[in-house]
Every structure is written in structure tokens, then in C-alpha cells.
Amino acid sequence: MPDPISYFTESKKLVLQSGLYLVATPIGNMRDMTLRAIDTLMAADIVACEDTRVSGKLFHLMGLSKKLVPYHDHNADQMRPEIMARIREGQSIALISDAGMPLISDPGYKLVRDCLAAGLYVTSLPGANAPLTALQLSGLPSDQFAFLGFLPSKQGARQEMLRAWKNVPATLVMFETAPRLEKSCRDILQVLGNRKMTVLRELTKKFEDIWPLSAAEILAKLEAEGEPKGEIVLVIGRDETPDEIDLDDLLKKALEKLSVKEAAALVAGQTGVPKKQVYARALELKDEN
């Protein structure tokens, strides 16, 4: 029986079959690099990566020396045939991203698609992943979720994207940059309403930070404290407010006997919908009559 300690401490000298190996790398904490990933990177003939400078630093920290070739959005069409040709010649190619699992908001799916279509061997070595880590830590429902990648940088496109997902009954996970976070939170509040929302910053790193608040509370925090530092993941809860028709019915009945302010307070207490949102709708209904 093998020694369990040596099994997990001694690197395995693999001989890889020709094919494409999708290898996860750390998103922050270097100890999240798996033993299987290290063994595979050591054994691969070539490692394709987004940025050879970023991956070069990772390999230096791990004490690995390997030929790195760039594979990114700007050269993917040119590199795909070359990588596939190398695999056909019997080589093993590892594909990594700057951080996390390859293809998750990174280039690569066309390479996987073409390799599978050509009957070439493709496998994945899972590991650190920012969207799933954020979902775990968000405190929001994880039974149904959608990953949206980066929010668009321009307000019009950002709001359009949020509207497209507004009625989807799922938790939404997305990336955002720190400089755009406040503007995006304004759009989230405007388009999606004051949903439960978690901002996760610097995941797995020393200064990891989690804000499990509402969209309005997060916006107020940003306005008071300024732009945060580091890499950001947003997790937005599904819409848990009653249908607008139900809300309207409750308000109309309350407005028959109460003032706008009193009706709004009553319905907000009944439904859990924010008072400001209920009050605004009550004013609209009052003006319609």
C-alpha cells in the first residue's frame, strides 16, 4: 500500500497522451494550485497562455521551466491550427488563463470545439474559479445561477444587459472593475431594483472582503467610502418582490382608506418591498386617479 503522505507530497512524473489539457491556476492564493495541475504542467510539451509575462511569473514561483506560447483573442485564429497540428503530431498542450479556470470569461472555447470535432483528446483539470467561489461566499441562493462575465463599460449597453436578465429566476454572477463599480450599482438599482447583493473583493487573497448587503446599501457604502481596490465579483440575488399587479392591488386597497404615506408604510410592511419603492408607486397610483 502506498504511503499516503508521499503520495500527496511527491510530484508524479506523468507521460501525457497527446491532447489538450485545460489547467486551472490560482485566482489569488498560490496554495490553490492543485498537485495534478503541477504534474500536468511539468509533463506538457507546451503551455499556451493568455499573457506569457503573467504566466511566466507563476511558473517562476512554482519553480517550473516550460515553453510558453501566447493564446489570446488577438491571435487565436492563427494559433488554433498550429496547436491542433502539434496535437496530431503527438504533443500534449496545456492551456491556462491568467487566473482561474480557462475559458471562463477567457478565450479558448473555439479551440476546445475544434479539437473535439476533430476527434482529438481534450480534458479538464478543475481548480480555483472566481465566479463559483463568489457564489459560495455570497450567502445568496445557489440552486440556479447564471454567470454573465464582465458588465459592459458603457451605461446604455450595461442597462440593456441587465434588463435582459431582469426576469430570469436565478442568482446572477458577474465581474466588474473597481472604477466602474459605483456606476454599475446605480444601474443595478435602477434596472433590477433593490435586490439582495454581495460584493466580493480580492477573493482568496490576504485582504479578501465580502459585502452581503442590498443594492442600495452597497451604493451608499461606495458613495461614503469611495472606490475599493482590487478585483471585484458581483453576485445579485433573484427578484423576490411580489408581482407588480399584486403590489398595485394592495396599494389601491390601502389608498381607499389611508394617505399615500400610510398606505406605503402598510404595504411595505406586508411585502418587504423597500418603503421608497412602494411610496413612489403609491404616488403614481394616486396621480392616476
* Residue-range domain boundaries for the chain: 15-128, 131-236, 244-288
Q: Which CATH number fits domain 15-128: 3.40.1010.10, 1.10.3720.10, 1.10.10.10, 2.40.110.10?
A: 3.40.1010.10
Mean pLDDT of 41-62: 94
Q: Which CATH number fits domain 131-236: 3.30.950.10, 3.40.50.1820, 3.40.190.10, 3.40.50.10800?
A: 3.30.950.10
pLDDT of residue 245: 47
Mean pLDDT of 251-265: 89
Gyration radius (Cα) of the chain, Å? 25
Mean pLDDT of 53-65: 91
Out of 128-132, 158-162, 262-266, 273-277, least confident range: 273-277
Mean pLDDT of 69-92: 95
pLDDT of residue 5: 47
Mean pLDDT of 246-250: 83
pLDDT of residue 220: 93
